[in-house]
Amino acid sequence: MISNLTQEWYESVRRWHLELFCIPATLLTLATMLASPVLLICIFVSRSLRQETRYLLVANTLTADMVFLVLNLAIIIGNAAGAEMPFIVCELSTAVLVTSYSCAILTVTLMVADTFTAVRWPLHYHDVMTPGRTHCIMAAVWVLAALYPFSLMILGKEKWGNPREKVSLCLAHISFNTGEIHTSFFFVVALICAFLILYCYIRLYMVTRTQGIWHNRFSRARVTVLAHGVLLLLYFAPGFVFILELYMFQTSPDNFQRSRDVHVWVSTVNNYVLMLLPRAFAPYLYGLRYREIADTLTLLLHRHRRLGQIT
């Protein structure tokens, strides 16, 4: 049944020439991979940056995004080329993709909570959020993000039967077709993260509204909140679209077969464009909005230029 589903999907992709979406996917991936490693180098080279929780969380987000992009691009190229792969490899790749995506979502949520904690309790913040404790939190985030998708992969083996069966396309919603309860779990976790972010932003506004930082229409606080709000929307929206795909595929498989072209278009745009947009914008936003990262990058460039002149 898996091979039949993927073959029909592959025929729809070829009929609509959706393999052309590989072009924007490749460009967005390259744009991200040019900037994210540079920011990671800036954070880990500077002793002061790698001792602060917010920059460690930025580094964790960029790392998760890079893992997602590299594996996602490999799957995209394989799907466009029609290269068959064992279903167990597809399941493993999907589990890693979901892990990295979930890790990024959890980390950006923690970034907002960290900002709220620093503003709400500034005197106790550095005593609570030490670098060692931040490292433990990031490790726990990776474990939590990996626990559920890899558990679903094990459950998928029992449901689909032969894991060595080869498929024409690697489709995440087929790998995670393990029941409505699991889809509801993704939806509930995403809602909790979204409500936590909204609560922290509302509380931040209430705590800081008397300090005069919001009076100017183009103040740094307003621009920062607007930029991060757009970025968070770009992070969360593709996740909700993916959850909707899972729900539609599980609740009405007959309707899924009848409206396959619509699902193919939605899935292609979501996987090839929407999921990549926040990862392409994130490193440039962090590089522009965090002055310490920009200063470290400028210092590194000056050092490199001076070394080249001496050589």
Under CATH, to which class is 2-310 assigned? mainly alpha
Rounded Cα distance between 267 and 18, Å, is 11
- Write out the two tokens for 93: 């790749």
Name residues of the chain where pLDDT drops below 50: none
Q: Compute the half-sphere exposure of residue 90: CA atoms within 13 Å on the CB side of its CA.
A: 29
Whether residue 82 contacts residue 50, with contact meaning beta carbons closer than 8 Å, is answered with no
**Sign of the four-CA dihedral 298, 302, 308, 309:** positive
* Contact assessment for residue 100 and residue 64, using Cβ atoms and an 8 Å cutoff: yes
- Please state, in angstroms and rounded to a whole number, the distance separating the CA atoms of residues 280 and 299: 24
Which pLDDT does position 84 carry in this prediction? 82
Q: What is the pTM of this model?
A: 0.90
According to the model, what pLDDT value does residue 139 have?
Answer: 96
Cβ pair 61, 104 in contact under 8 A: yes
Three-state SS letters, the chain: CHHHHHHHHHHHHHHHCHHHHHHHHHHHHHHHHHHHHHHHHHHHHCCCHHHCHHHHHHHHHHHHHHHHHHHHHHHHHHHHHCCCEEHHHHHHHHHHHHHHHHHHHHHHHHHHHHHHHHHHCHHHHHHHCCHHHHHHHHHHHHHHHHHHHHHHHHHHHHHHCCCCCEECCCCHHHHCCCCHHHHHHHHHHHHHHHHHHHHHHHHHHHHHHHHCCCCCCCCHHHHHHHHHHHHHHHHHHHHHHHHHHHHHHHHCHHHHHHCHHHHHHHHHHHHHHHCCHHHHHHHHHHHHHCHHHHHHHHHHHHHHHHHHHHC
**What local confidence, expressed as pLDDT, does residue 145 receive?**
93
Residue 167, phi then psi, degrees to nearest 5: -125, 150
Q: Which amino acid is at 244?
A: L
CA 311 centroid distance within chain: 41
Measured at the CA of 107, the angle between CA 101 and CA 113, to 5 degrees, comes to 145
**pLDDT value at residue 311:** 54
Taking the C-alpha atoms of residue 237 and residue 245, their distance in angstroms, rounded to an integer, is 13
